[in-house]
Amino acid sequence: MKAIFLGPPGAGKGTQAAILAKKLRLAHLATGDMLRSAVKEGTELGRKADGLMRAGKLVPDELVIEMLLARLAAKDCERGVVLDGFPRNVAQAEALEKAGFVPDVVLNFSVDDEVLIERIAGRLVCSQCAATFHRKFRPPNRPGVCDQCGGETLYTRKDDTEEAVRVRLEVFHKEEDRLVEFYRHRKLLREFDADQAPEVVTQHAERLLKEVMS
Ligand code: AMP
């Protein structure tokens, strides 16, 4: 199973990709998480990506494509993968296709911008396992502590400021139509309303994935 989760920042792609990849025993590849690790480790890629990410802009295609294709070659991707945050534009989608990666399905998470801004504004991320929480909608059981791994390191992403979020949404919408069209044309696109309770979205997305897997 090769699935791509498309959608704006804050649509719940990451949360759902983590849940469903675990359930269906697929690898969860989130380019945002991979880039944040590179920034933390201070690698050359991380140094190049840091400022762009803080500003809410995209990291250059060639860097992200190289990073993602190298990760896709790892053993744990053999059973199947969920791509979360990649591709972000048609050039990245074409690079994937050229590398022989043709998805079985592309799930398009759609949510209105105003809802996204509210969701992102309260988002908390675990710096150890990348699980996400929300101050209001999904608070951790113990303040500041990750429910998943017990780490005491929940933080607010540097690009979750209102200013960066607006840039990220603008960048997303600029590429969205062409990217959606790219997969619709290939009859791979499944759209659904992601402005629902997380459990409802999980059920819906799982049903769509299983339909394709069977
Ligand atoms: P995300 O965690 O998916 O919201 O990504 C956070 C940031 O990482 C984005 O705003 C971009 O700066 C960068 N990023 C993640 N994935 C990509 C990608 N496929 N192409 C370019 N930049 C990316």
Q: Of these residues, 2, 88, 119, 190, which one is catalytic?
A: 88
Residue 142 appears among annotated catalytic residues: no
**Tokens 């908390």 appear where?**
124
DSSP secondary structure string, 109-178?
A: EE--HHHHHHHHHTEEEETTT--EEETTTB--SBTTB-TTT--S-EE--TT-SHHHHHHHHHHHHHHHHH
In angstroms, the CA 96 to CA 102 distance is: 7
At residue 128 the predicted structure's pLDDT band, cuts being 50, 70 and 90, is: very high
Tell me what pLDDT residue 213 has.
Answer: 84
The pLDDT-based confidence of 167 (bands split at 50, 70, 90) is very high
Q: Of all helices (H) and strands (E), which one includes residue 189? A: strand 189-193
Mean pLDDT for 88-110 is 97
198 CA from centroid of ligand 1 (Å): 22
What is residue 27's three-state secondary structure? Answer: strand
Average pLDDT value over all residues in the chain: 95
pLDDT of residue 162: 86
Is residue 120 within 8 Å of residue 106, measured between CB atoms?
Answer: no
Instruction: Determine which one of 2, 36, 119, 168 is catalytic.
Output: 168
Is ligand 1 within 6 A of the CB of residue 88?
A: yes
H/E element holding 82? strand 81-84
Q: Tell whether ligand 1 has an atom less than 6 A from the beta carbon of residue 169.
A: no
Pocket probe mutation, ligand 1, options 13, 16, 28, 31, max atoms within 8 Å of Cβ: 31
Mean pLDDT (whole number) for 189-210 = 94
> Is the confidence at residue 32, as pLDDT, over 90?
yes
CA 88 to CA 6: how far, in whole Å?
8
- Tell me the pLDDT tens digit for each residue of 52-95: 999 999 999 999 999 999 999 999 999 999 999 999 999 999 99
Distance CA 154, CA 140 (A): 9
pLDDT at 214 over 90: no
Q: Would residue 79 show up in a list of annotated catalytic residues for this protein?
A: no
Which DSSP symbol is given to 47?
A: H
pLDDT reported for residue 136: 92
- Residue 126's pLDDT is what? 95
**Confidence band of 141 (pLDDT split at 50, 70, 90):** very high
92 touches 59 (CB < 8 A):
no
Examine the pLDDT at 105 and tell me if it is beyond 90: yes
The pLDDT value recorded for residue 93 is 98
144 CA to centre of own chain: 23
Does residue 80 sit in helix, strand or coil?
coil
Which residue out of 13, 36, 119, 190 is catalytically annotated?
13
